[in-house]
Amino acid sequence: MTEPLDTTAIRKAELHCHIEGAASPSLVKAQARKYDADVSGFISGDTYVWSDFTEFLTAYDGAASLFRTEEDYALLARTYLEEIAAENAIYAEIFVSPDHAVAAGLSNAAYFGGLAEGIAQAKASSGIECRMIIVGIRHLGAEKVEAAARLAAARPHPLITGFGMAGEERFGQVADFARAFDIARDAGLGITIHAGELAGPESVRAALDHVRPSRLGHGVRAIEDTALVQRIADEGVVLEVCPGSNLALNVFPDISSHPFDRLRRAGVKVTLSSDDPPHFASSVGREYQMAADAWGYDAPELTEITRTAIEAAFVDAQTRANLLGQLD
């Protein structure tokens, strides 16, 4: 029997991480002390406490409410990026949610400025490159998502290069949000949308029909429909797959039933991400390790997954070439 591969040295890229969801319980508890707030409803010891997706969103919102200044967000972004740089991540895209920032009392300028400061600090200390994707929150409704799209289209910061939609996937119809995505696409932003995570293949089909994204957040429940898997492969749509998140949220019962490898073998472009790392006991490093352990990938195969991510990244040609050069 061959030794399991240690994936630490593999260069990695993460396309799907919600920055508010990247706050560790210990950081959130420090923020709670700073603002004299109570987190006992969603943190116990050093773990987030929730039992289903709805409770997860409540814990997520509770943590987000404790990042209230530019400095708070700089600290959060720097901490997250330096952690994954230590796992040899060379690139990350973070989902940023102006709706969460406004709810915590920040201006958009303070939110993006703070995140950009943390990104710059992490780049200076580790070399990691990062871009921001503004997301609208689906369960807040189409008007809010359109407002987020208009904000993204105004290009409020040069590191904002994409637009997406997160939140409760079972809320409303994808078609209700098509205008938001038209606004973002017309502004030249990269497009991604959560689909096929908690909702089934029909949600993926609707996302492809109405939104025409180059990437799908999750998309894994497409596996229930062979023709749809073929369509995703044919259209070259890239999946931001987050196996640890899918297991924690019971989308699949265990890693051996997870469709990552089946999608890959069917010709779908798949990448690996952590989604909301401390909520799911995950990190991009752990996702790569789990994939290597579960499906026996070797170093070239894992590096190919990173290459797929960088080819699909929402970056300019020069940055993409620099990042791809780091894989040789």
Which residues contribute to the site for ligand ADE (CB under 6 A)? Answer: 18, 21, 60, 166-167, 194, 197, 245, 275-276
C-alpha span between 16 and 29 (Å, rounded): 24
Q: Which is nearer to ligand ADE, 58 or 226 (CB)?
A: 58
User: CB 97: neighbour CB atoms within 10 A?
Assistant: 26
CB of 139 to ligand ADE, least distance (A): 9
CB of 114 to Zn ion, least distance (A): 21
Q: Which is nearer to ligand ADE, 70 or 275 (CB)?
A: 275
C-alpha span between 44 and 215 (Å, rounded): 35
Q: Which is nearer to ligand ADE, 62 or 167 (CB)?
A: 167
Token match 């409770």: residue? 55
Tokens for 40? 């006992």
Q: Report yes or no: 280 and 245 within 8 Å, Cβ to Cβ.
A: yes
Q: Which of 93, 169, 197, 287 is catalytic?
A: 197
Q: Which is nearer to ligand ADE, 18 or 131 (CB)?
A: 18
Active site residue 169: no
CB of 1 to ligand ADE, least distance (A): 35
Partner interacting with residue 167 (select from Zn ion, ligand ADE, none; CB below 5-8 Å by kind): ligand ADE
**Is 306 in a helix, a strand, or coil?**
helix
Q: Which is nearer to ligand ADE, 60 or 297 (CB)?
A: 60
Partner interacting with residue 286 (select from Zn ion, ligand ADE, none; CB below 5-8 Å by kind): none
Tokens for 147? 């407002």
Spatial neighbors of 100 by CB under 8 A, at least 6 apart, are 20, 61, 64, 65, 137
CB of 240 to Zn ion, least distance (A): 8
Query: Is 171 exposed, middle or buried (CB count within 10 Å of its CB: 0-12, 13-18, 19+)?
Result: middle
Q: Which is nearer to ligand ADE, 10 or 96 (CB)?
A: 96
Partner interacting with residue 111 (select from Zn ion, ligand ADE, none; CB below 5-8 Å by kind): none
Partner interacting with residue 197 (select from ligand ADE, Zn ion, none; CB below 5-8 Å by kind): ligand ADE
C-alpha span between 187 and 134 (Å, rounded): 13
C-alpha span between 168 and 55 (Å, rounded): 11
Q: Using alpha carbons, list the distances in angstroms from residue 206 to 157, 173, 237, 263.
A: 30, 8, 14, 19
CB of 217 to Zn ion, least distance (A): 5
Give the residues lining the site for Zn ion (CB under 5 A): 275
Residue with the CB atom nearest ligand ADE in the bound state: 166
CB of 167 to ligand ADE, least distance (A): 5
Residues in a beta bridge with 166: 137
C-alpha span between 297 and 277 (Å, rounded): 22
Partner interacting with residue 258 (select from ligand ADE, Zn ion, none; CB below 5-8 Å by kind): none
C-alpha span between 49 and 28 (Å, rounded): 13
Token match 């997301």: residue? 135
Partner interacting with residue 21 (select from ligand ADE, Zn ion, none; CB below 5-8 Å by kind): ligand ADE
CA angle, corner 16, sides to 92 and 93, nearest 5?
Answer: 30
Residue with the CB atom nearest Zn ion in the bound state: 275
Active site residues: 197
